[in-house]
Structure 1
Amino acid sequence: MSRSIVRQSKFRHVFGQTVKAEQGYDDIRVSKVTWDSSFCAVNPKFLAVIVESSGGGAFLVLPLSKSGRVDKNYPLVNGHSGPVLDIDWCPHDDNILASCSEDCTAMVWQIPDHSLTRPLSDPVVVLEGHSKRVGIVTWHPTARNILLTAGSDNLIIIWNVGTGEPLISMDDHPDLIYSISWNRNGSLFCTTSKDRRLRVCDPRKREVVAERLAPHEGIRPMRAIFTRDGNIFTTGFTRMSQRELGLWDPTNFEEPIALLELDTSNGVLLPYYDADASMVYLCGKGDSSIRYFEITDEPPYVHYLSTFSSKEPQRGMGFMPKRGVDVTKCEIARLFKLLDKKCEPITMTVPRKSDLFQDDLYPDTVGPEPAMEPEEWLSGRDEDPLLVSMRGGYVAPKSREFKVSKKNMLDSRPTTRRSTSTLDTNSLPPELLGRLLEEIQNLKATVLSQEKRICDLENKLSQYTNGTD
């Protein structure tokens, strides 16, 4: 069976290779937070790594060209008051990055093209709406400025970061959310949860449109990602704690398209999907290997290709978007492996003798331009990503300034249920308006009385201290 599969695969001989030592990034204090995120995010311009820091949470942002040893005093991005749990680069602007933290907030940052010269502590926008730590942050694949966050309050909030407003809140999950993945055009997303369910959600309808109980029978965390053709690839554990992967059709969750046992290990498998090659890379936390598979529409549907092994176990992993790979070397993927004190880029290459551009390896890939605006997506429109050619390699555009509209939410704390933009008193019922005005007057009176009491106490204190003198 395997002979007939590999004979037809152009990715049969894909091999991984660690770059030279001087092209890695050394002396990075990778975060020791016990959270199953990748701790690393990368794009064609920057490498971002969540690091250990005292007095709050921080992450390191390096231009890709700044390899070698990292100065221990290199400035960090340190606006969070609690440990950072997840980071994600905006797919439509290589200088914009979102982060989330145990401090119950998510933040959006604009990173300058040059190296940071001083610590960056002022985000472009702060997103406050969760009541517990925020563990997942992920951008919409095709709509500008749409960001999804999920917290330990089991709440999912979708934001327009251009205004700082929460657009949609969903509280359909009764337990901790492990992972979230958008489909290709951003019309749906899938989630895995501690209640052992795999769900497919339609955010604009605010409902779960399909779900499957225990796609993997084990109780350890699962992961799920949408494939290009709309199926869902999952990783999890069997009842006997063996690691397992599965492929599912969300329109028919009764039986898996494929289910494959791998090995016995405790590390959660983090899947990274290459839509252009229809390949998935599995990186287990604490593993020293990366397995990769090809997904096709022929049995057995998920085909094992090979394993890249190294000596040291990985703490996390970053996955370069396809427009950041080197087409002149037939590189089809680049992963950034986090170790305790450094980050090692790993190139995945298809061996070819020709120096010409390989059309079959590099179909047009997802580009940096959004396909629609937030209002269009919210109104129900769906668009596939806008594609760019890889011929001649990808050239990153210059950075654009990210601006937040004046009706943003930074001055007032948003609720988790509805947008709290500027209050229009004309739209309120007279009775409610009267009660609000009365409550405001009462609060003012309370503040004045407390101020008078503070003044009296200060006077008494000064008399007492003068008397003791």
Structure 2
Amino acid sequence: MSFRVVRTSKFRHVYGQALKREQCYDNIRVSKSSWDSTFCAVNPKFIAVIVESAGGGAFIVLPQSNKVGRIPADHPLVGGHKGPVLDIAWCPHNDNVIASGSEDCVVKVWHIPDGGLIKTLTESVVDLVYHQRRVGLVLWHPTAQNVLLTAGSDNQIVIWNVGTGEALVEIDCHPDIVYSACFNWDGSELLTTCKDKKIRIINPRTGIVTSEALAHEGSKATRAIFLRHGLVFTTGFSKRSERQYSLRTPDCLEEPIVMVELDTSNGVMFPLYDPDTNLVYLCGKGDSVIRYFEITAEPPFVHYINTFQTPDPQRGIGMMPKRGCDVTSCEIARFYRLNNSGLCQVITMTVPRKSELFQEDLYPDTLGDTAALSADEWIAGKDAEPLLISLKDGYRPPESKSSLSVTRKSNLLDKVSSKNKSSSRNTGAPVSDQALQEIADEIRKLKAMIVKHENRIRALEAEVASSKQVSNVGSEDADGAGGDGLRTSPTLATDEV
């Protein structure tokens, strides 16, 4: 007599449900960029979606309220970039602050007022300028206040203190484009994937690579995330362009614990992770499904649970933090799925329970919105676990946290300016010869540009004057001919008489 042992898990029966169209956001012109980004970022207050925009790059911010349905075509945007926006990310410690990276090589940090925008926002709180090529990845630190990671097509990773606008760490260990980055649970390690097919674990304070290995043999984009207890989960492609996922230990990256081939689709898979339930959701760009798995300590370690099927392919997707989920309906995850028709579809993942009481086993203490460290403490070498909150009484977003303020440290040009104004007030160190040479070169370039424009202005003025002179001569000839006709006409009339 044969029997099958059923795995014990409270998440075996998780099911997905899409809200009706009138309960979703419609008429959103999702960006047509081919960049491998989710195009959507969500928190309990706002939904942000990268959209098509004429004359630069922009994204739309919609408040999490009852104002769902069709979005007006003239809805205010966040539009200060000169090139298409490639990636956006909400600050985990301030739901009103969002960062954006763009093809114009600039990272901008914005403050969104409570209730959303009433007019298009073009003034950012701070511009972070370092990258020489487009910036396709922005990522906030999980525990330190105002610490932001950016990665560009110049193969550089920069970690910023947004509060001062300065670069804390510059990481130059990738020979090609960085596809993805992820901090571990306490932010003490950084995991990256690169176009050279390798995954790397890096010390984010020093930029030193502590471990690296070949992830997937395929040439298409690979993505990797840190799981809560330190394991590494990756998605990528095989040599035959079959999509794969793998599970690895940080101290033995080159030998995966699990390596599974899924299908032959060509869309990049984004792993979205819930550290409270240890569930990983795989959402492929261009797919019409969301697969979800549970990670456990027992073989086969990655347990397939189910697939949520939709009728149309997805352009992008955003995942709500657990503090934004509805605990009264046993909702353990919520997704905002973008499709080609302009619909932002809301999908809820629910564990079926009969009781209406708070389910403590489904909702352990989760990530809160308070930072455990300051940026200065983190860069000084201090690590701390994220601060957790209970969802027993539900989560209510604070009315408004203090807005992000930037306190810039004095830069080289400030010192030179103050020295020129009053040498007696200048107590700083003397300016180096190299710095003075750079300033002199900059002045020379500006003067050359001014001379060039002045020459162009003179040439255009001469051309206008010449055109006026030719026009005046033509008009005088016409006047002369007209006068002769008038003088002869009386004579002709007299002869005829």
* TM-score w.r.t. length of structure 2: 0.85
Post-superposition shift, 1:405?
3.2
Higher mean alpha-carbon deviation, 60-69 vs 274-283, is at 60-69
Bigger Rg, which one: 2
Partner SS, residue 323 of structure 2:
helix
Post-superposition shift, 1:8?
1.3
Q: How does 1:16-95 map to 2 (within 5 A)?
A: 16-65=16-65, 66-95=67-96
Q: How does 1:307-318 map to 2 (within 5 A)?
A: 307-318=307-318
User: Hey, what's the Cα distance between the residues in 2 that align with 1:29 and 1:466?
Assistant: 48
Q: Deviations over 1:192-250 (max 9, x none)?
A: 1110001111111221111002x222121111000000111000111221111001111
Number of residues of Structure 1 aligned to a counterpart in Structure 2? 455
Partner SS, residue 314 of structure 2:
coil
Partner SS, residue 54 of structure 1:
coil
Q: How does 1:290-439 map to 2 (within 5 A)?
A: 290-340=290-340, 341-407=342-408, 426-428=428-430, 439=440
Change (3 A) 1:436 1:322: closer
Change (3 A) 1:69 1:442: closer
Post-superposition shift, 1:425?
8.2
Partner SS, residue 29 of structure 1:
coil
> Are 1:14 and 2:42 counterparts?
no
User: Hey, what's the Cα distance between the residues in 2 that align with 1:32 and 1:463?
Assistant: 44
Partner SS, residue 22 of structure 1:
helix
Question: Aligned residue for 1:148?
Answer: 149
Identity %: 53
Partner SS, residue 427 of structure 1:
coil
User: Hey, what's the Cα distance between the residues in 2 that align with 1:400 and 1:146?
Assistant: 17
Partner SS, residue 377 of structure 2:
helix
Question: Aligned residue for 1:193?
Answer: 194
Partner SS, residue 376 of structure 1:
helix
8 Å contact kept, 2:169–2:206:
no
Which amino acid is the alignment partner of residue 316 of structure 1? Answer: G
User: Hey, what's the Cα distance between the residues in 2 that align with 1:357 and 1:431?
Assistant: 67
Structure 1 unmatched runs, 5+: 414-423
More helix by share: 2
User: Hey, what's the Cα distance between the residues in 1 that align with 2:21 and 2:167?
Assistant: 44
Question: Aligned residue for 1:164?
Answer: 165
Change (3 A) 1:7 1:434: closer
Question: Aligned residue for 1:416?
Answer: none
Post-superposition shift, 1:299?
0.8
Change (3 A) 1:434 1:177: closer
User: Hey, what's the Cα distance between the residues in 2 that align with 1:182 and 1:376?
Assistant: 17
Higher mean alpha-carbon deviation, 286-295 vs 20-29, is at 20-29
8 Å contact kept, 1:179–1:223:
yes
Question: Aligned residue for 1:222?
Answer: 222
Question: Aligned residue for 2:421?
Answer: none
User: Hey, what's the Cα distance between the residues in 2 that align with 1:461 and 1:293?
Assistant: 74
Q: How does 1:137-286 map to 2 (within 5 A)?
A: 137-213=138-214, 215-286=215-286
8 Å contact kept, 1:223–1:236:
yes
Change (3 A) 1:42 1:410: farther
User: Hey, what's the Cα distance between the residues in 1 that align with 2:409 and 2:345?
Assistant: 39
8 Å contact kept, 2:238–2:244:
yes
Q: Deviations over 1:343-401 (max 9, x none)?
A: 00100000000011000000000000000100000000011100000102111112224
Post-superposition shift, 1:81?
0.8
Q: Deviations over 1:85-121 (max 9, x none)?
A: 0000000000101011101011111111113111111
8 Å contact kept, 1:19–1:344:
yes
Which amino acid is the alignment partner of residue 241 of structure 1? Answer: S
Could you say which structure has the greater relative contact order, defined with CA pairs below 8 angstroms and 6 or more residues apart? 1
Structure 1's consecutive aligned runs of 4 or more residues displaced over 6 angstroms after TM superposition are 409-413, 451-456
Post-superposition shift, 1:447?
7.3
User: Hey, what's the Cα distance between the residues in 1 that align with 2:453 and 2:52?
Assistant: 46
User: Hey, what's the Cα distance between the residues in 1 that align with 2:275 and 2:151?
Assistant: 24
Partner SS, residue 247 of structure 1:
strand
Which amino acid is the alignment partner of residue 247 of structure 1? Answer: L
Which amino acid is the alignment partner of residue 202 of structure 1? Answer: N
Change (3 A) 1:163 1:355: same
Which amino acid is the alignment partner of residue 389 of structure 2? Answer: V
8 Å contact kept, 1:126–1:410:
no
* TM-score w.r.t. length of structure 1: 0.90
Change (3 A) 1:202 1:185: same
8 Å contact kept, 1:29–1:51:
yes
Which amino acid is the alignment partner of residue 46 of structure 1? Answer: F
Change (3 A) 1:409 1:395: farther
Post-superposition shift, 1:163?
1.0
Post-superposition shift, 1:446?
5.4
User: Hey, what's the Cα distance between the residues in 1 that align with 2:98 and 2:244?
Assistant: 32
Change (3 A) 1:463 1:407: same
Post-superposition shift, 1:40?
0.3
Change (3 A) 1:252 1:64: same
Partner SS, residue 263 of structure 2:
strand
